[in-house]
């Protein structure tokens, strides 16, 4: 297979620009259709040379989005959660009371969807059953566990581990402060949050051991696991900060790698789904690919710094041949890697 980082072809020629013209809240792939969730409430679906725009949240902004490979789930400041297919069909999953903003969305197994708003988390499973949990503070980040039907909820002072189908109290891991987003390792052993402070926090679930992952000059807004689950990349510094998770202790006592050091802040990171390659998006709009399996890091520029502001969205398709990116001032595009 071809993978990025091995060719010296100018990748700029392989970018198909998408005129988003609004803040790109997220980019995802639904099959090979790139979907962009935007601050003006619309979703752009880019299928090869054909693009269409769907008005998913009229007169509103899409605040958060997630996708499961076939559907995009968006949450807006209209208090609605909407599911959009690759062909543009939409289904309103919920409209929350009083128009409370949707704080987070996540997609889970068998078409399950989770959302949080107004200090509650909700899950709708594949059969349409809806479960609700009071969380006492805003649920800023949601992530389904890699196995089983369970949801991690980032909140004030920790992360809640919720099993919606079982009665009884959810489990919790705690750490003082406001937790913004959450992710779990593929083997289910570690949970990592980003915080209001400039740091991440991790827990080893087996014994609740804490891992402080600090030293960032800015807030961490993006995390991504490598395809083999051995590395967790993060934004928030002038390089992608990549923590090792291959041993039973995770990153405890180990320094992270710093990949793609540039005089700009890393805003988004996205690991390639099949190769040890990290896509890194910067505040100045630049996107780099960094290959990390050799002694010297190999770097390839995917997009030059320029108009459109900071990179705010970055996603690979399933086979890793396409990358969809967007910026906070409405530039976007799809890069299709040349076959070599």
Q: Which stretches of the chain bind other proteins, using CB under 8 A?
A: 22-23, 25, 39-40, 59-63, 77, 98-101, 103, 118-119, 137-138, 140, 156, 176-178, 195-197, 218-219, 328-329
Question: What minimum distance in Å lies between the beta carbon of 172 and other proteins?
Answer: 17
Using the minimum distance from each CB to other proteins, give the nearer residue, 106 or 278: 106
Using the minimum distance from each CB to other proteins, give the nearer residue, 150 or 312: 312
**13 phi, psi to nearest 5 deg:** -70, -15
Q: Residue 191 to residues 147, 178, 200, 289: CA-CA distances in angstroms?
A: 13, 15, 10, 26
Q: Is 231 helix (H, G, I), strand (E, B) or coil?
A: strand
β partners of residue 178: 156
DSSP label at 130? E
Q: Is 285 helix (H, G, I), strand (E, B) or coil?
A: coil
Question: What minimum distance in Å lies between the beta carbon of 182 and other proteins?
Answer: 15
H-helix or E-strand spanning residue 16: strand 15-19
Say how many C-beta atoms besides its own lie within 10 A of residue 184's C-beta.
Answer: 22
Using the minimum distance from each CB to other proteins, give the nearer residue, 226 or 234: 234
- DSSP secondary structure of 110-123: GG-EEEEETTEEEE
Using the minimum distance from each CB to other proteins, give the nearer residue, 238 or 329: 329
Q: Which burial class, exposed, middle or buried, applies to 288 when counting CB atoms under 10 A from its CB (0-12, 13-18, 19+)? A: buried
Cβ atoms of 54 and 64 within 8 Å: the answer is no
Question: What minimum distance in Å lies between the beta carbon of 324 and other proteins?
Answer: 18
Question: What minimum distance in Å lies between the beta carbon of 138 and other proteins?
Answer: 6
Say how many C-beta atoms besides its own lie within 10 A of residue 175's C-beta.
Answer: 16
Question: What minimum distance in Å lies between the beta carbon of 306 and other proteins?
Answer: 19
Q: Is 263 helix (H, G, I), strand (E, B) or coil?
A: coil
Using the minimum distance from each CB to other proteins, give the nearer residue, 7 or 264: 264
Using the minimum distance from each CB to other proteins, give the nearer residue, 28 or 335: 28
Question: What minimum distance in Å lies between the beta carbon of 215 and other proteins?
Answer: 14
Question: What minimum distance in Å lies between the beta carbon of 304 and other proteins?
Answer: 23
Using the minimum distance from each CB to other proteins, give the nearer residue, 25 or 27: 25
Q: Residue 180 to residues 167, 197, 199, 209: CA-CA distances in angstroms?
A: 26, 10, 11, 20
């Amino acid at each position: 297979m071809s993978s990025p980082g091995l060719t010296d072809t100018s990748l700029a020629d392989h970018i198909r620009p998408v005129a988003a013209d609004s803040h790109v809240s997220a980019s995802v792939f639904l099959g090979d259709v790139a979907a962009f969730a935007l601050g003006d409430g619309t979703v752009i679906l880019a299928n090869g040379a054909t693009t269409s725009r769907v008005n998913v949240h009229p007169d509103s902004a899409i605040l958060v989005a997630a996708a499961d490979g076939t559907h995009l789930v968006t949450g807006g400041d209209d208090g609605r959660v909407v599911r959009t297919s690759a062909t543009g069909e939409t289904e309103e999953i919920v409209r929350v009371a009083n128009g409370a903003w949707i704080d987070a969305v996540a997609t889970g197994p068998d078409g399950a969807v989770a959302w949080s708003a107004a200090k509650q988390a909700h899950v709708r499973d594949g059969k349409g059953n809806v479960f609700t949990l009071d969380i006492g503070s805003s649920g800023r980040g949601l992530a389904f566990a890699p196995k089983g039907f369970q949801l991690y909820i980032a909140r004030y002072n920790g992360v809640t581990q919720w099993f919606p189908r079982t009665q009884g109290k959810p489990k919790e891991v705690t750490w003082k402060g406001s937790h913004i987003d959450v992710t779990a390792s593929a083997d289910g052993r570690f949970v990592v949050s980003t915080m209001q402070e400039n740091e991440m926090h991790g827990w080893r679930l087996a014994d609740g051991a804490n891992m402080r992952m600090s030293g960032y000059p800015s807030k961490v807004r993006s995390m991504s696991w490598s395809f083999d689950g051995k590395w967790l990349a993060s934004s928030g510094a002038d390089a992608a900060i990549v923590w090792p998770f291959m041993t039973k202790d995770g990153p405890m006592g180990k320094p992270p790698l710093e990949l793609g050091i540039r005089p700009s802040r890393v805003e988004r990171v996205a690991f390639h789904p099949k190769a040890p390659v990290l896509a890194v998006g910067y505040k100045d709009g630049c996107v780099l690919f960094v290959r990390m399996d050799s002694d010297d890091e190999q770097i390839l520029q995917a997009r030059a710094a320029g108009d459109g502001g900071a990179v705010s969205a970055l996603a690979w398709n399933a086979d890793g041949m396409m990358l969809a990116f967007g910026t906070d001032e409405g530039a976007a595009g799809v890069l299709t890697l040349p076959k070599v």
